Amino acid sequence: MSILTPAVTDSDQLHRDALTVLQPGFVGTTMPEWVRRHLAAGLGSVALFARNVVDPEQLAALTAELRSVNPDLLIAIDEEGGDVTRLEVGSGSSWPGNLALGAVDDTALTRDVARELGRALATCGINYNWAPAADVNSNPRNPVIGVRSFGADPELCARHTAAWVEGLQQVGVAACAKHFPGHGDTAVDSHLGLPMVDVDVDLLRSRDLVPFLAAIEAGAKAVMTAHIMVPALDPKLPATLSPAVLTDLLRGQLGYQGLIVTDGIEMGAIADTYGMGPGTVMALAAGADAICVGGGSTEEETVLELRDAIVEAVRSGALSEERLADAAQRVRTLGSWARIEAQGQLAEPDLAIGLRAARRALRVVRAPGRAFPPVTERPYVVSLSDQPNFAVGDDTPWGLSGLLTARFPGTRTAKVDAADAAPEALDATVARLLAEAEGRSLVLVVRDAHRYDWMTAVLERVLTARPDGAVVEMGVPQAAPAGALYIATHGAARVLGLAAVEVLTGQ
């Protein structure tokens, strides 16, 4: 060793490994100085969200800046397509989401969509995507999965999860199947609380685990854990913190050898129950290799807190040094794979594939004996909406108001929420809508109407008076309501809205 080269001490390596396993986010469209320092000190991943994105050119410059400090850096994003988009948060996604692809049920098309979305990521320097959602949406009232799932059929979810993984990784972007062992049968959003999946092992194996097996067989480079309680697997600890789930089941019984990453450690299910620092240590000890943190916690202090919690846990014996070293090496291995695979992969995505898939995803029902004339001039568009879940966020536009207004200047629009449909306000709300819609084509746009009694009440009252109205469901579809025309888009992506407008205008 040269006397000019400082020796790497065990303490240095411990701190480096502790940084390597963290996947933090930050605020801003350029690299903060604190991120630069920690990349030089060993940070193995960063997480980008909509707050970091202006346009593809800016994003490519940011990722190049980040990678100049660590060429093997994993640059992660949560880009599912469909309702969950970070690249196109200002406009809505050019790619239909999972439920739409499951409705078409053409695995070649799913593979094509994932490949082209992957190209959009790769051209911006993203090499690691926290997608696809492999959850089976077995609970139709699920508040956090819904259209993010390919559907309620385990085998359908399995074949499309595999196709999505294959398509994304064809262009050198690592796929991450989530949320293991399955978040589809929950009634609580894990951003806010700790959900329970209280079913027996046989049902888990025949339903929830099926798509994850397909993802493993397809070569998924990463699997993300779910912050859920599954008593049949571990009666005491949530999956993210459970050796029985991560080491015994995922590593042992299912044979998975890739990277295991947690869902956001700052989410309420973990942070409010165990604390971020203790939760991080428990997750690593249970078998996780990387800690996602940054959806909500974006300060350097969070990174330091978690790094120090890991280091102290190793020194106290709560976390073995070998387990930490193994986790850090898995992160570095995936970073090296991504750097090599990215070479020669840059190509512009084919956006036509997204619209073609969106058109095929539509389910159109025309009521016998009722006519809905094509919209040819200023319609009246009513959007009925509740709060989106945290994964979708409230910054991404959805619905048809903007699309129809752009095509037909003078289009009238209205928004209705739960307060407008309260018992004391319902009569006045319906009367107002009917008066404003008089003499115009009426289009009612909803998202997950089956989950909200108030939304169903407004639909029923308005359509009783205007049976010539059209309903466009942009969430998980159920039975068609009693209007003249019903269009189920299977998601609220912009491209699905464009396909619905084509039907409404007779194209």
Catalytic residue ranges: 191, 263
Q: How many residues does the chain have?
A: 507
CA 335 to chain centre: 22
Distance CA 269, CA 285 (A): 18
- Residue 216, burial from CB neighbour count under 10 angstroms (0-12, 13-18, 19+): buried
Burial 467-505 (b: 16+ CB within 10 A, else e): eebbbbbbbbbeebbebbbbbbbbbbbbbbbbbbbebbe
Beta bridge partners of residue 22, listed in sequence order:
291
Which DSSP helix (H) or strand (E) runs through 298? none
Peptide bond into 96 cis (omega under 30): no
Give counts: helices (H), strands (E), the chain. Answer: 18, 14
Beta-sheet strands, E only, within 71-225: 74-77, 128-129, 174-180, 222-225
| SS3 of 197-218 | CCCCHHHHHHHHCHHHHHHHHC
Of 158, 230, 236, nearest in space to 201 by CA: 230
Beta bridge partners of residue 152, listed in sequence order:
none
Measured CA angle at 418 (ends 445, 93), to 5 deg = 40
Contacts of 329 (CB under 8 A, 6+ apart): none
Beta bridge partners of residue 74, listed in sequence order:
45
Give just the sign of the alpha carbon dihedral 171, 174, 180, 183: negative
3-state secondary structure of 396: coil
The token pair at 221 is 């480079």
Give the other-Cβ count within 10 Å of 150's Cβ: 31
Cβ pair 401, 411 in contact under 8 A:
yes
- Residue 89, burial from CB neighbour count under 10 angstroms (0-12, 13-18, 19+): middle
The token pair at 15 is 């701190």
Kind of pairing, strands 380-384 and 412-416?
parallel
3-state secondary structure of 309: helix
Instruction: Using the structure block, give the residue that is written with the tokens 């990174």.
Output: 303
Distance CA 263, CA 240 (A): 8
Instruction: Using the structure block, give the residue that is written with the tokens 């029902």.
Output: 365
